[in-house]
Amino acid sequence: MNAPAAFKSFLIFDGERKISVENATKVSNAANQLQKDPMVLFAGYKNPHPLKHKILLRVQTTGQTTPADALCNAITDLIAELSLRSRNQ
């Protein structure tokens, strides 16, 4: 078929960033934490091909915060939660 792959049709708009991560588990945890934030309208990820280390994370927020700030807050919350769990063991 003479068409580009579906995952190549995504555009990176102004203000969007590309981040390279090799582990889908980390992105899954971040997306789940993002969904707990009331200022996040949408957070999801996909792995276009299981043999390639490329994962797409999409974050849409309200006008009160930026996706980058929401992601930083989610990662900070995950780190705090993990350190709390490690202290309780």
Per-residue pLDDT reduced to its tens digit, 34-69: 999 999 999 998 888 878 777 888 999 998 999 999
Pick from 34, 54, 56: nearest CA to 46: 56
When pLDDT is averaged across residues 3-11 and rounded to a whole number, the result is 57
CA 64 to chain centre: 18
- CATH number for the domain that contains residue 60: 3.30.1360.10
81 occurs within a structural domain: yes
CA distances from 80 to 33, 34, 42, 49, 71 (A): 12, 14, 23, 31, 14
Query: Is residue 11, in this structure, part of any structural domain at all?
Result: no
pLDDT band at 77 (very low <50, low <70, confident <90, very high): very high
Residue 1 domain flag? no
Cα 51 to Cα 9, 47, 55, 65, 76: the distances in Å are 20, 9, 11, 34, 29
**Residue at 5 is within a domain:** no
Q: How many domains does the chain have?
A: 1
Name 21's Cβ contacts closer than 8 Å, sequence gap at least 6.
27, 53, 55, 57
pLDDT at 15: 66
pLDDT at 89: 77
The model's pTM: 0.70
- For position 60, what pLDDT does the model report? 93
Parent domain of 24: 19-87
Residue with token string 């200022």 = 39
Residue 72 belongs to a domain: yes
